[in-house]
Structure 1
Amino acid sequence: MSDDEYRVAVEDGIEFPVPADGERWAVGAVILNRDGAAFAQRRGPGRRLFPDCWDIVGGHVEPGESLLDTLAREVAEETGRHLRRVRRHLGTSTPLTAGSAPTTSPASRRTGPPVSTSSTT
């Protein structure tokens, strides 16, 4: 899927990191409606991670996909809607591995409303 296929507007100053070869990444989207209410979905009871929990839209980056392509695909797959705009990059975290502590980029520590995407039907 190309970014043009979804016509996603990305706010000025937002840059998406590029995963290095062999890294496994995931994306997530906080989707707000016009009233500022966040969309959450319930994970199925058979899910390996966090079964039966409320969660944001997201998923793993497939080989050859950009983070923006993945975000648009996951929003479409999980909500039936199309990603229109990315308003903020909330942050990038490293995965947890045995004996390590997570690290988070400064973007995730910004103040203000947690808005990263919006969608329409």
Structure 2
Amino acid sequence: MADDRYGLVVDAGVEVPVPGDGETWTVGAVVLDGRGRAFAQRRGAGRRLFPDCWDIVGGHVEAGESLLEALAREVREETGWRLRRVRRLLGVGPSTPPTTGSAPAIWTGSRRTGRPASTWSTT
């Protein structure tokens, strides 16, 4: 399935949930390079949630966004990369407070090229 607005391909069999009214969701991407290595970024020590921890790219879904729109935006904002492909849905589950309402999260795969725009470490 292709999402023409973003030039994004969603592989066959991937079913992206649709948030219900009043629900707050988060999204995250396990970003893979051409050799199958996953990208992780270190959260700042001053972050409210999970300070100074390694994490995948992601964040909250803004009002009016679909999960795919939010995923593409978060990848672009945090790395400068363009999300091109969603290979699979790895899971849906509750998000960590203080997110309000019913707050499942979506983790999905994508492919990247180049280096991220934000600062990152390989250690």
- Superposition TM-score tier, normalisation by shorter sequence: 0.7 to 0.9
Which residue number in structure 2 is paired with residue 4 of structure 1? 4
**Which of 96, 100, 117 lines up with 2:110 in the alignment?**
117
Which one has a larger percent helix, Structure 1 or Structure 2? 1
Q: Distance in 1 between matches of 2:14 and 2:36?
A: 21
Which one has a larger percent strand, Structure 1 or Structure 2? 2
Q: Which runs of 4+ in 1 moved over 4 A?
A: none
TM-score by length of 2: 0.77
Which residue number in structure 2 is paired with residue 35 of structure 1? 35
Q: Distance in 2 between matches of 1:90 and 1:119?
A: 18
Q: Which amino acid aligns with 2:37?
A: A
SS of residue paired to 2:27? strand
Q: Distance in 2 between matches of 1:28 and 1:120?
A: 18
TM-score by length of 1: 0.78
Which residue number in structure 2 is paired with residue 101 of structure 1? none
Which residue number in structure 1 is paired with residue 65 of structure 2? 65
Contact 1:85-1:119 within 8 A present in 2 as well: no
RMSD of aligned residue pairs (Cα, Å)? 2.0
Point out where structure 1 has 5 or more consecutive residues left out of the alignment: 98-103, 109-114
- Number of residue pairs the alignment of both structures matches: 104
With a CA cutoff of 8 Å and minimum separation of 6, indicate the structure with the bigger relative contact order.
2
SS of residue paired to 2:28? strand
Query: Structure 1 vs Structure 2: percent identity of aligned residues?
Result: 63
Q: Distance in 1 between matches of 2:28 and 2:75?
A: 9
Q: Distance in 2 between matches of 1:4 and 1:41?
A: 29
Point out where structure 2 has 5 or more consecutive residues left out of the alignment: 98-103, 115-123
